[in-house]
């Protein structure tokens, strides 16, 4: 069986910054409320008129990753693309990325829809393919245009999200390398699925004038159900994975939780006594970028020289579905 390693990473966020003060001019909210309840100060918003959408943000992020390694886009044999609002329903967004990157080898292209947990679902799928020998070089994206599902009249959700993209180039590790994905746990609690839902636009409820009037084309959420489930599930999956791999919380060098809300991050980190210095936090700058948040956090930590080869990194996420995923890897 082969081993999987993260060869290189990249990210891309739109230039446009929307601050809490900007939002307080759009809905009845304040910088103080948003900061106290979520830790968020600002978020990035894509500009469609400048051609910023999932596949173009992804191509920019991938360029950074390729600039850091000796692979070319045509060495990729699978593109996995986690996204909630794709470029369009079909062709899938992974195939648009293939086109933007000039890949001409007809590599496989697959979109993943697992909301905020999508990058960790993708990492688990990629690891299984690489271990089994199906694919050698995989481009894995977590990329989200949350501003397209945001109801900009609903203060209870629109303050929480931001746009962005993170990418990892995954490859087969040599036998003598320490780098590998040590274990993964995935789950989904569909009994609470309606706590975070985008009802319209699919087969069940096509877009009609009535749908638009009721603003059902946007996301709606029961924040407290999501909050409690997020803390409980991420905590139990991290404990399960550490036990499964025979490692302890003290072995973990870096903790990278999904950046939904500072209070959720702190509650999970507190359970494992992970201090702030070993927890990657960027929710204040980008808000919740859904499945992009972990790969963006990882790329920033690598660029800052925080994460080094051989470090043990624990990643955990939770989101719509209600899906969840946790991965432990030796970088």
Tell whether residue 223 is a contact of ligand ACO (CB under 6 A): yes
Catalytic option among 109, 143, 258, 299: 258
Catalytic (active site) residue 258: yes
The correct pick among 16, 37, 68, 199 for binding ligand ACO (CB under 6 A) is: 37
Catalytic (active site) residue 270: no
Tell whether residue 226 is a contact of ligand ACO (CB under 6 A): yes
Tell whether residue 29 is a contact of ligand ACO (CB under 6 A): yes
**Which residues lie closer than 8 Å to 65 by C-beta, 6 or more apart?**
8, 9, 10, 139, 167, 168, 169
Instruction: Please give the Cα distance from 65 to 52 (Å, whole number).
Output: 19
CB under 6 A: which stretch of 76-84, 94-102, 155-163, 238-246 binds ligand ACO?
Answer: 155-163
Question: Which residue matches tokens 């393919």?
Answer: 129
Catalytic option among 92, 150, 288, 299: 288
The correct pick among 66, 81, 141, 227 for binding ligand ACO (CB under 6 A) is: 227
| DSSP class per residue in 133-178 | TS-SEEEEEEEE-GGGT--TT-HHHHTTB--EEEEEEEEEEPTT--
Residue closest to 46 by CA, chosen among 146, 160, 150, 166? 146
Task: Read off the DSSP letter of residue 279.
Answer: B
Tell whether residue 230 is a contact of ligand ACO (CB under 6 A): yes
Chain residue at closest Cβ approach to ligand ACO: 223
Q: Is the dihedral of CA 294, 230, 287, 47 positive or negative?
A: positive
Distance in Å, CB of 258 to ligand ACO, minimum:
6
Per rule CB under 6 A, count of chain residues that contact ligand ACO: 23
Tell whether residue 261 is a contact of ligand ACO (CB under 6 A): yes
Task: Read off the DSSP letter of residue 323.
Answer: E
CB under 6 A: which stretch of 11-19, 46-54, 90-98, 254-262 binds ligand ACO?
Answer: 254-262
Distance in Å, CB of 322 to ligand ACO, minimum:
8
The pair of three-digit structure tokens given for residue 284, joined into one six-digit string: 């204040």
Tell whether residue 224 is a contact of ligand ACO (CB under 6 A): yes
| DSSP class per residue in 52-88 | -SHHHHHHHHHHHHHHTSS--GGG--EEEEE-SS-S-
Catalytic (active site) residue 288: yes
Instruction: Please give the Cα distance from 125 to 136 (Å, whole number).
Output: 13
The correct pick among 101, 114, 116, 280 for binding ligand ACO (CB under 6 A) is: 116
Contact footprint for ligand ACO (CB under 6 A): 29, 33-34, 37-38, 116, 155-156, 159-160, 196, 221, 223-224, 226-227, 230, 258, 260-261, 288, 318-319
Catalytic (active-site) positions:
116, 258, 288
């Amino acid at each position: 069986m082969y081993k999987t390693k993260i060869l290189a990473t990249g990210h891309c966020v739109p230039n446009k910054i929307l601050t809490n003060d900007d939002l307080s001019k759009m809905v009845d909210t304040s910088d103080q409320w948003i900061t106290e309840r979520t830790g968020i100060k600002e978020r990035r918003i894509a500009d469609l008129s400048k051609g910023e959408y999932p596949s173009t943000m992804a191509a920019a992020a991938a360029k950074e990753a390729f600039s850091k390694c000796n692979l070319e886009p045509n060495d990729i044999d699978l593109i996995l693309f986690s996204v909630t609002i794709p470029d369009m329903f079909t062709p899938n967004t992974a195939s648009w990325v293939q086109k933007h990157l000039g890949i001409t080898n007809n590599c496989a292209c697959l979109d993943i829809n697992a909301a905020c947990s999508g990058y960790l679902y993708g990492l688990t799928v990629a690891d299984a393919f690489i271990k089994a020998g199906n694919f050698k070089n995989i481009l894995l994206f977590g990329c989200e245009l949350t501003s397209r599902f945001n109801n900009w009249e609903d203060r209870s959700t629109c303050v929480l999200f931001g746009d962005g993209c993170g990418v990892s180039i995954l490859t087969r590790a040599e036998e003598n390398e320490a780098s590998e994905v040590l274990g993964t746990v995935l789950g989904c609690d569909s009994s609470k699925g309606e706590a975070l839902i985008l009802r319209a636009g699919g087969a069940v409820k096509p877009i009609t004038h009535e749908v638009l009037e009721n603003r059902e084309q946007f996301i709606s959420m029961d924040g407290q159900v999501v909050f409690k489930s997020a803390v409980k599930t991420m905590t139990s999956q991290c404990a399960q994975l550490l036990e499964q791999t025979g490692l302890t919380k003290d072995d973990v060098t870096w903790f990278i939780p999904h950046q939904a809300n500072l209070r959720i991050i702190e509650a999970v980190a507190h359970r494992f006594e992970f201090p702030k210095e070993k927890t990657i936090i960027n929710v204040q700058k980008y808000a919740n970028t859904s499945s992009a948040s972990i790969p963006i956090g990882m790329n920033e930590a690598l660029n800052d020289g925080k994460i080094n080869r051989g470090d043990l990194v624990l990643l955990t996420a939770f989101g719509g579905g209600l899906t969840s995923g946790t991965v432990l890897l030796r970088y």
